[in-house]
Amino acid sequence: MRATLREIVLGCRSLLVGMRVTMVEFFKPVVTVPYPHEALRMPERYRGPIELVRDPATGRAICYACQLCARACPSGCITVEGVKREGERRKRVTQYQLDFSLCSLCGACVEACPDAAIRFSKRYNWATPHKEEFLLDLVRQLEQESR
Amino acid sequence: MTPPPATVQAPGSGETFLLNLGPQHPATHGVLRLKLTMDGEYITRAEPVCGYVHRMHEKMGENRKYAQFLPNTSRIDYLSAMHYTHAFVGAVERALGLAVPPRAEYIRVITSELNRISSHLVWFGAFLLDLGGFTPLLYAFDDREQILDLLEAITGSRLTYCYYRFGGVCHDIDNAFLEGTRAFVARMRPRLRLYHELVTDNIILRNRLIGIGPIPLELCRRYGATGPVIRGSGAAYDVRKTEPYSVYPQFDFDVPVYPEGDSMARYRVRMDEIEQSLRIVEQALERLPSGPVRAEGVPRVLKLPAGEFCCAVEAARGRFAVRIVSDRREIPWRVKLRTPSFSNLSLFEEASRGMMLPDAIALLGSLDLVIPDIDR
């Protein structure tokens, strides 16, 4: 009898203590972000879909299609093509295709690049019902940006 | 129209029916399927059916280079990605005889322990969700968010970190991370006390966990259960102590052990482990050496010498081991992944025999299963 009473009292107490914790929480500031109205800033090292880096001296992409990124990619989602023009030391990238539907954002390509010609973008809220929209042409993307 | 006759029978009637738990069920956290043979409310046989998220990680290891397999390691158990990457880079480092700089080892310990805390916080929230308590999940995720923000700032990712490299780590940590981690340790201790007030002492939880789903130590041994499951059954088995790796021997921490073997014991082990991880992080922050974070002379093209190389780590769910068999090519001949959740699930059939269904859910939750880790 005594033990049962004791258990009831202690049990009720534990529930009241829990209630107190919840009540205190009521008066604390909100910790969530109302997402579509307010978006978080991605940190410096955030890994979004990759993009080409522009050479400030020439205004063109630094990339010279050495294929190291394509070879480092575990998913084979990068296709790079470039042409060597008359009088130029290196190739110029003409096509840089990224199949983002295969990409797992591991960053092997960025790490493999000897000239830091590709970097991660900060793009993160991206959805589409069409798979083809994830086929990105990064060279065209860079040209469009400069316009 | 007359209603169909009740399927629930008195125990021991001998008439059974089959009940599917999963593959889509909130308590199976993913796509685990349990074929339960029920005698009324009592389980007579529980057959786990796995393979719904089988992604051939082991086979993938056999057709890509070592560096290319690295991102896979953080996707086997997405809640303790750091530990899994640690085991894989550890095996390669052992094979090549690479000496990892001390600063990198300390960073690995700090990030691994933070990852362990975040994994246990997910378990804490999800487990109580299984038992019908929604509120604790929100508290746990509030704290977990602090860890994810810290790790995201240094690794660039919130779950699939892929932060360790052969011979070190990807980037050095900065002052913001150090200060953030110190602030987190200071924040987490009072929060743990709050968890105990809100949850551990709660009479409803105690009645649902104490004495429920006892797993004898012998059963754990027979199925190879590790991690908090075996520690909740009374064996002080922790890979960080039994097969020391990285710089863990330099830290002072205890291995929480509870001999009862019931769901409450496993609950207590994990809660104590959060405390111990905080201790390790604190010590590592204090003694963090300066210097490089990546070893010199890591070959650009990795070719392991012929032979077998193993590395085991204490992941959040138990012992995770990688065994690489190399035949001197750039691509491994075999990558065997020993995942803890598979063994921890295997004992469920025997342990759940004769239990009531709601108690079996408590037992299942206390095993802390990650389904992609079982199927890999």
Q: Which residues, at least 6 apart from B199, have a Cβ–Cβ distance to it below 8 Å?
A: A18, B124, B128, B133, B136, B205
B120, B276 Cβ separation under 8 angstroms: no
Q: Kindly report the nearest CA distance between residue B287 and chain A, in angstroms.
A: 26
- Of A45, A74, A106, which is closest to B153 when you measure between CB atoms? A45
Enter the ipTM: 0.82
What are the residues whose beta carbons fall under 8 Å from the beta carbon of B124, sequence distance 6 or more? B136, B140, B195, B199, B270, B271
Give residue B288's identity as a one-letter amino acid code: L
Eight-state DSSP code of residue A54 = B
- Residue B11: the pLDDT is 53
Residue corresponding to tokens 């690794």: B155
- pLDDT over threshold 70, residue B100: yes
Q: How far apart are CA B75 and CA B63, in angstroms?
A: 17
When the pLDDT of each residue in chain A is averaged and rounded to a whole number, the result is 85
Residue type, B249: P
Q: To probe the interface with A, which of B157, B171, B330 has the most A CB atoms within 10 Å?
A: B157
Q: Tell me the CA end-to-end span of chain A in Å, nearest whole number.
A: 84
CATH number of A50-146: 3.30.70.3270
Residues 6+ apart with CB under 8 A from B361: B27, B130, B131
Instruction: Note whether A104 contacts B67, CB cutoff 8 Å.
Output: no
B-contacting residues of A 57-116, CB under 8 Å?
72-74, 104-108, 111
Closest CA to B111 of B167, B165, B169: B169
Identify which of B150, B374, B182 has the alpha carbon closest to the alpha carbon of residue B288: B182
Q: Cβ contacts of residue B16 below 8 Å, gap of 6+?
A: B37, B38, B39, B44
Q: For the segment B38-58, what is each residue's pLDDT rounded down to a tens digit?
A: 888 888 888 888 888 888 899
Confidence of residue B2 (pLDDT cuts 50, 70, 90): very low
Strand order in the sheet with B318-326: B307-315, B318-326, B334-338
Over residues B240-299, the pLDDT tens digits come to 888 888 889 999 999 999 998 889 999 999 999 999 999 999 999 999 998 888 888 888
Q: Which of A83-97, B97-111, B261-275 has the lowest mean pLDDT?
A: A83-97
3-state DSSP assignment of residue B336: strand
Q: Closest CB to A21: pick one of B155, B171, B194.
A: B194
CATH class of the domain whose range is B55-374: mainly alpha
Residue A5: both structure tokens together: 């009473």
pLDDT in tens, B289-346: 988 888 888 888 888 888 899 999 999 999 999 999 998 888 999 999 999 999 999 9
Map out the domains of chain B as residue ranges: 55-374
**Interface touch A106/B152, C-beta < 8 Å:** no
Checking if the pLDDT of A88 tops 70, the result is yes
By CB atoms closer than 10 A (0-12, 13-18, 19+), residue B131 is buried
A118-143 confidence digits (pLDDT tens)? 989 888 888 889 888 888 888 888 87
Contacts of A73 in chain B (CB under 8 A): 68
